[in-house]
Chain A
Amino acid sequence: MRSDAVNNEMMIQIENLNRTFEHAGNEVKVLQEINLNIVQGECVVLKGVSGSGKTTLLSLMAGLDKPSSGKVLIEGEPISKLPDAFASELRAKKIGMIFQHFNLLEHLSVSENVTIPLIPSGLKMKEIHQKVNSALKLANINHKKESLASRLSGGEKQRTAIARALVANPDIILCDEPTANLDRDNSLLFIEILKELHALGKTIVVATHDPLFENLSFESTVIPMVDGKIV
């Protein structure tokens, strides 16, 4: 399903991707010549130790960072080269992101956090409320919708972050170390939710070093990464 995938099924295409950083006057190569094709509905697990480049790769897929060379195409659109308004719209409609540290706004409630991606969407408040409620139910956090994010447990924060990633009904879900701050039970619960999303036909990319993702109970592709390269 990787480099041999058919173009019209492609959800994410990565071509000759390189990312380098300047550190103390030296050039550090974080990603080197990455080529990767992910088709619609596929679940890909980027696996590797810390510093292997998986989070950077995920950020480039989400358009949160710009490549030093090469390109990332989301449904054929080069996300890093699009003008800001188009890139933002693509990110809002096509991509749901789950961060390692959840990145919730602590002063807002669960439902208010989940609302955020829909504010620029042009939807009316009634439609937004409907979508938020659906996402909260899907992520199994509806019972905490009025609670402040700052008062949630790690697992609840994770489910809020999942609801926020799902609220715009994106085709792609990108998860950065989603279980790094969860205990085993909550990690297994998260994997169950991923299974449901996979069943819904979402394209999922998980960057993790958690062994739980090695033998998932649903079809997935594990891609090992070492020193910024796919091996």
Chain B
Amino acid sequence: MNTNAFWHFLTLQLYKERSKHLSVVGISVMILFLLSSVQFISSSIRFSLEETLKVQPDFVVSRVQGGGSVPTPIEWSDELLDIYGVSKVTPRVYGRYYFAAKEKSFLIVGVDFMEEQSHETLQKLIATTDIKAFLEGKQMLVGQGVKAYLEAHFYKDAYNFLTPSGTFEKVKIFEILPSNSNLIANDMMVMPIDLARRVLGYGEEEVSDITFNVPNPDEWDMMTDKLSALHFDLQVVNKNEVRKSYENLYNYKGGLFLILFIIVLGTFALILYQRYSMVYSTERRHIGLLRALGWSINDVLKLKFMETLMVVFASFILGIFIAYVYVFVLGAPILSEIFLGGQNLQNTVSFVPVFDFSIFTSIFLIYALPFIAAVLIPVWRVSVTDPKEAML
């Protein structure tokens, strides 16, 4: 078969039957858009979670009394430092600050900037931050969501915090935290520990919790036992438990996506069945005619395969592109609520683009293979029947 003549006829067929193909492309794009959006969101969240947990301190201890958190005495830090294998002990002062204008709350994190931080992101920020300049005035580092909210309410460079004692603390924005820490840091305000104490109403010798690292992971289990023996009201949480709690949360959210996924696949199956039936009804005569006019079975299969491949490829590119724009440019409105709504992150999270080719491959295979099969199997079955019977 001459390639030019074949391509000429193929493009002619695609163009002349464009309404049929466009409707198939339209439905396929919708399915691919949903499949890809779900994949993009979940892989982006997984990536952000991993990136964020990577830099979290290994352990957090706090005081719990009567089932609720109470301020932790700062002298516990010294006790922790005495334990062999413990490093980077960092007392933290943090708490949620209610932003009345938007009915949102931000997470204030107070940090002793003169100490080495067990939280790697904070440590990195401090390493690149001009500490001297930062500590000169009342200043803070803010997450991207905080920055956006404050800017929208005309707090471009600074914000006036109302303290529990009824006074105002005007704090300047010094720097913005990086976007790849958004899953945890998006609604975060990082400020000097004494300033955080004043804003949140902690006493001078009180902190919210104390973080530290234990470089040898084999000591983690034993460390938990040792710490629990220190004080009856000491609560210990290690990074693995934080990871598990996040994973449990996202697995639960992922279950909702699974339902959506099944619905989409069910719809896709119906479309495949409709496509399969269409070949038998409307395209049967067409195939029979081509065979009667001297086309071999291979010629017919090649035409239909290429025709379907073009439709599949166009749908795939378009579906992926729209999903990419929807998730990574527009921030996946509606769908993101399923994953991110109802938890601590009360501000908008921008998804970090993740280029995982296995995602593209799996989406292509989930979509393209059944679609091509749903066309080619009936085409082949019609092609191998006698042209006279096919044309009936």
Q: Which residues of B contact A123 (CB under 8 A)?
A: 2, 5
A66–B386 touching, CB < 8 Å: yes
B286 within 8 A of A: yes
* B132 beta carbon closer than 8 Å to chain A: no
Q: CA–CA, A59 to B291, complex, Å?
A: 13
Of chain A, the residue at the smallest CB distance from B383 is A84
Contact, CB under 8 Å: A119 / B388: no
| Given A64-B391, A84-B297, A85-B296, 4 other A-B residues pairs in contact with their CB atoms under 8 A | A84-B298, A116-B295, A119-B295, A121-B1
The residue that B294 contacts in the complex, of A115, A120, A125, with Cβ under 8 A, is: A120
Instruction: Kindly list chain A residues whose C-beta atoms are within 8 Å of the C-beta of B12.
Output: 108, 112
Query: Which chain B residues lie closer than 8 Å to A59 at the CB level?
Result: 388
| Shortest beta-carbon distance from A97 to chain B in Å | 6
How many residues on chain A are close to B (CB under 8 Å)? 34
Residues of B282-297 at the interface with A, using a CB-CB cut-off of 8 Å, are 285-286, 289-297
- Chain B CB count within 10 A is highest, among A99, A118, A119, A128, for A119
Interface centre among B16, B286, B294, by most chain A C-beta atoms within 10 angstroms, is: B294
Q: Indicate which residue in A103, A112, A118 contacts B289 across the interface (CB closer than 8 Å).
A: A103
- Contact of A116 with B293 at beta-carbon distance under 8 Å, contacts A108-B16, A123-B2, A124-B4 already known: yes
B286 contact set on A, CB distance < 8 A = 105
Taking a contact as CB atoms under 8 Å apart, the answer to whether B5 and A168 are in contact is: no
A68 to chain B, nearest CB (A): 12
A65 to B8, CA, bound (A): 30
Number of A-B contacts (CB under 8 A): 88
In angstroms, Cα B388 to Cα A66, docked, is 10
Q: For the complex, is B389 an interface residue (Cβ under 8 Å from A)?
A: yes
Stretch in A87-95, A199-207, A219-227 touching the partner: A87-95
Give Cα A115 to B4, complex, Å.
13
- CB-defined contacts of B295 to chain A, threshold 8 Å: 88, 92, 116, 119-120
Q: A65-B388, A121-B2 are in contact. Are A92 and B294 (CB under 8 A)?
A: yes
* Measured CA separation A115–B13 after assembly (Å): 12
Distance from B287 Cβ to chain A, minimum over Cβ atoms (Å): 11
Chain A: CB-nearest residue to B6? A119
Within 8 A of B (CB), among A49-83: 59, 62, 64-66
Ranked 3 nearest A-B pairs via Cβ: A92-B294, A88-B296, A64-B388
**A107 contacts chain B at the CB level, 8 A cutoff:** yes
Residues A107 and B16 in contact in the complex (CB < 8 Å), given A66-B386, A118-B5, A119-B9: yes
Q: Taking A59-B388, A108-B16 as contacts, is the C-beta distance between A120 and B4 under 8 angstroms?
A: no
Give the secondary structure class of A's interface: helix
A-contact 0/1 string along B377-392, CB 8 Å cutoff: 0000000001111010
A107 contact set on B, CB distance < 8 A:
16-17
- The answer to the question of B299 belonging to the interface, with a C-beta cut-off of 8 Å to chain A, is yes
Residues of chain A within 8 A (CB-CB) of B290 are 116
B residues engaging A (CB < 8 A)? 1-2, 4-6, 8-9, 12, 16-17, 285-286, 289-299, 386-389, 391
Q: Select B1's contact among A84, A108, A120, beta carbons within 8 Å.
A: A120
Cα(A103)–Cα(B291), bound, Å: 12
- Return chain B residues, CB-CB under 8 Å to A103: 285, 289, 292, 391
**A88: B residues at CB distance < 8 A:** 291, 294-297, 299
Cβ-defined contact, B292 with A91, below 8 A: yes
11 A-B contact pairs sorted by A residue (CB < 8 Å) = A85-B298, A92-B293, A97-B293, A103-B289, A112-B16, A116-B295, A119-B1, A120-B6, A123-B5, A124-B4, A125-B2
Which residues of A from 173 to 190 have beta carbons under 8 Å from B? none
Distance of A62 Cα from B286 Cα, bound (Å): 17
- Within 8 Å CB of A128, what residues of B? 5
Q: Which residue of B lies closest to A117 (CB)?
A: B293
**Distance from B87 Cβ to chain A, minimum over Cβ atoms (Å):** 75
Q: Which of A106-134 contact B (CB under 8 A)?
A: 107-108, 112, 115-125, 128
C-alpha spacing A107/B289, complex, angstroms: 14
What's the minimum C-beta distance from A187 to chain B, rounded to whole angstroms? 23
Task: Report the Cα distance A122→B290, complex, angstroms.
Answer: 16
A contact residues around B388 at 8 Å (CB)? 59, 64-65
Look across to chain A and name the residue whose beta carbon is closest to the beta carbon of B303. Answer: A119
The residues of A that contact B294 with a CB separation of less than 8 Å are 88-89, 91-93, 95, 117, 120, 168
CA distance in complex: A202, B245 (Å): 84
Shortest beta-carbon distance from A231 to chain B in Å: 24
Q: How far is the CA of A64 from the CA of B17 in the complex (A)?
A: 26
- Pairwise interchain contact A120-B296, C-beta atoms closer than 8 A: yes
In the complex, whether A164 has a CB less than 8 A from a CB of chain B is yes
Closest-by-CB residue of B relative to A103 is B289
Partner of B5 from the list A93, A119, A164 (CB cut-off 8 Å) is A119
How distant is B305 from chain A, measured CB to nearest CB, in Å?
15
* Chain B residues, CB < 8 A from A108: 12, 16
Given contacts A64-B388, A65-B386, contact A125 B299 (CB under 8 A): no
Q: Complex formed: what's the CA distance from A103 to B272 in Å?
A: 28
For residue A91, which residues in chain B have a CB less than 8 angstroms away from its CB? 292-294
> CA–CA, A123 to B5, complex, Å?
7
For A93, what are the chain B residues with a Cβ–Cβ distance below 8 Å? 294
- When distances are taken between beta carbons in the complex, the residues of chain B under 8 Å from A168 are 294
CA distance A11 to B276 in the complex (A): 41
Chain A residues near B297 (CB, 8 Å)?
A: 84, 88
A64 to B298 Cα, complex, angstroms = 16
Interface centre among B8, B286, B293 (most CB of A within 10 A): B293
Contact assessment for B296 and A64 in the assembled complex, using a CB-CB cutoff below 8 Å: no
Asked if B293 contacts A164 (CB within 8 A), the reply is: yes
Query: Closest approach, in angstroms, between the C-beta of A2 and any C-beta of chain B?
Result: 25
How many angstroms between the C-alpha atoms of A124 and B289 in the bound complex?
22
